[in-house]
Amino acid sequence: MRCLMCENLSLTHICKVCQASYLKPSLYRRKLSNGIEVLSFYKYQDIKELLHTKHTDLGFYIYSILAKNSFTQFINNFDFDEPLVSLAIDDNIESGYSHTAILNKSLQTRNIKPLFNCLRAQNRVSYSGKSKEFRLLNPRKFTLKNFKAEDVILVDDIITTGATLTQACEILQSKQKEIVFCLTLCDVANK
107 occurs within a structural domain: yes
176 occurs within a structural domain: yes
156 occurs within a structural domain: yes
pLDDT digits (tens, 9 = 90+) for 90-100: 887 776 799 99
Cα gap 88→69, rounded to integer Å: 18
50 occurs within a structural domain: yes
Residue 140 confidence (pLDDT): 84
Q: How many domains does the chain have?
A: 1
In CATH, what number is assigned to the domain containing residue 55?
3.40.50
Q: Greater confidence, 107 or 141? A: 107
Domain hosting residue 103, numbered range? 25-187
121 occurs within a structural domain: yes
Q: What ranges in 28-129 are assigned the alpha helix state H?
A: 44-51, 57-67, 73-75, 99-105
Residue 19 confidence (pLDDT): 96
13 occurs within a structural domain: no
pLDDT digits (tens, 9 = 90+) for 121-134: 888 777 777 777 88
Cα gap 121→139, rounded to integer Å: 9
